[in-house]
Structure 1
């Protein structure tokens, strides 16, 4: 599929160059369109070129939204030139993203379309997820290219997946959940799971020690040469952990998730410096034997 996509990009570049030569002098940003052009507004028009795409002309220039590499299809999903993305403001541009693949994007008046081996995705500029994504480097940043459109999980609760991250938007703000920490969050069910949505960005206690807070718990990660080890603190353990200073306090970082012991009818969780038991009779904080 990767080879097919790269071939499509090369074909797209050749086709765009040929059409640009053929269209020279036909329409400029402020010229009257030829008979084949359809006007949306003064100085805004478009023309379909079979098997190639749609040429759009506006004060921002004349640019092709090609059939290839998903661009025209995604633009159509957003209503075309009169839709939420508007008219193109530049040509399709190739980009080697942080995932190492040859991807491409095209900018529009009110957003951007990204095309990759995952498909085509439109990102409206008005979206808080798009704004967060752009602040973190966009397609060339640490999140990688989008792999899904925005998904509404509930009124006011949205998320969007990227190559190396999931970005969540809610009443707690817009935050990315990345890397091994993001994997741990997904193992807990993601935004609709046990932890819920993130309530703050990822924070660092010290070199190699980071955590992120969620609606119903926290995820802590310790980095080493062998990779990141991430564990969840949730339920009653959150209160015990916070009352004892959190990751930098008496207990330290979790060594794993909590587990249930049927013999004692208790829940246990091991931390760097202490072992915590929550039983029907109360909470015990014990020094490691």
Structure 2
């Protein structure tokens, strides 16, 4: 058998990245291939693959899986510099290893690799792999995580990418072990511009911006995550989980050269706080104090369920042009009931539908809420299970929850009504002086349950 010695491969010699040798040519444990070890890496050779250096993170990752004796096998190529000029890959008999400074070195193989390459590889929407291929908990499927999503594979469903909000919802449900099961398709455009829908073994997930519609047939009862499937407070696709930093662009933009402005503002802020306290507006008082608590302000503030339950039941609003919270909540309930009835009529099986509304700007009418939370954004999520029956006789069960958020700040010129207008002027001044900070106010109502015939 003709053999190509590793010693004839000279990628830069001692001046290259491998540096000086630290061993003679060695026979590998398989008794078949050869290697020479260097200070900066090794060179491996076999008659079927030729001689290739393996160094640094590639050598470490390859070693985790048993070098040439593992499923990855012998190297087929040297390190390859990728088109972004940063990442690298090295191809082996059983898998490829990709490396990037932000994600490290990870192996990717088979149908998952093919799906990832089909989507554009590291230049596509998923980015670089951030894990090796992992065996799913059921022992049947496989997946790789990437910078911005995942690719899942099972023998019966093939390989499919899951990313973005659909991935967030599916992961909340429990991934492939949830009632949805494995993905059976990639996400595709839905009926409305900008929407996406993805099919799973036992249902589908449809998203449009912050609107959600999920379907499960047959229905298998309610789960804790059902009504929690609401849009992120401020969706930011570059962060995971999504975040919404408050706007501090105006913070501390006014100086106080003679030291009189800040004490004067604090004095006026004290008057506002005392007014809220004296007039029985505990929420307004608490939020205002948080706004002026320099050590704590800027941190999220969670409202209690009692207040939110009361606010979401408001059927009127003091703000012209805004629908009251109760209208949005009831409309969401009716939409979900209708969708579940239609689906069980179509399939003849129990059907569960989850519908989450987009964020709607709305406001209630109680004094404490108007003075303190102003134009809040509301999202209502309803999960409905409908049983098949004759029209008008469908047994219905539902769970519904409302989610609320706002950025607690004061914008000059906004009309919050009196006496809150005084707080607006004081708050704007305090923010620009650097003694008050905006922050997120958020929370969820209690879960409302209902059953009946529709």
TM-score bracket, shorter-length normalisation: 0.5 to 0.7
Q: Is the CA contact (8 Å cut-off) linking 2:134 and 2:144 kept in structure 1?
A: yes
Shift of 1:75: 0.8
Distance 1:134 1:255 in 2: 35
Structure 2 unmatched runs, 5+: 1-9, 220-335, 347-352, 359-379, 385-395, 403-448
Equivalent residue, structure 1, for 2:185: 200
- Of 24, 42, 50, the match for 1:54: 42
- Of 112, 133, 150, the match for 1:166: 150
Higher strand share: 1
Residue pairs, 1:11-90, within 5 angstroms: 17-19=12-14, 36-39=25-28, 40=30, 44-49=33-38, 51-59=39-47, 60-66=49-55, 68=56, 70-90=57-77
1:17–1:282 distance in 2 versus 1, CA, 3 Å: farther
Distance 1:243 1:131 in 2: 37
Say which SS state the counterpart of residue 115 (structure 2) adopts.
Answer: helix
- Of 96, 120, 127, the match for 1:137: 120
Shift of 1:166: 1.0
Distance 1:162 1:22 in 2: 29
Shift of 1:149: 1.7
Equivalent residue, structure 1, for 2:161: 176
Structure 1 unmatched runs, 5+: 1-14, 27-33, 223-227, 246-250, 271-277, 284-289
Equivalent residue, structure 2, for 1:255: 357
| Equivalent residue pairs, number | 232
TM-score by length of 1: 0.65
TM-score by length of 2: 0.43
Distance 2:381 2:202 in 1: 14
Shift of 1:243: 6.1
Q: Which has the higher contact order (CA 8 A, sep 6+)?
A: 2
Q: Deviations over 1:251-286 (max 9, x none)?
A: 9x863674379xx9744699xxxxxxx953334xxx
What is the CA RMSD across the aligned residues, in angstroms?
A: 3.9
Distance 2:123 2:42 in 1: 27
Say which SS state the counterpart of residue 195 (structure 1) adopts.
Answer: coil
Matched, 1:110 2:110: no
Distance 2:345 2:357 in 1: 16
Shift of 1:202: 1.5
Residue pairs, 1:182-261, within 5 angstroms: 182-193=167-178, 195-206=180-191, 207-222=193-208, 228-235=209-216, 240=341, 242=343, 255=357, 258-259=381-382
1:203–1:239 distance in 2 versus 1, CA, 3 Å: farther
Q: Deviations over 1:209-257 (max 9, x none)?
A: 22012244322122xxxxx325242455675464689xxxxx9x86367
1:61–1:209 distance in 2 versus 1, CA, 3 Å: same
Q: Is the CA contact (8 Å cut-off) linking 1:184 and 1:230 kept in structure 2?
A: no
Distance 1:242 1:119 in 2: 46
Shift of 1:72: 0.8
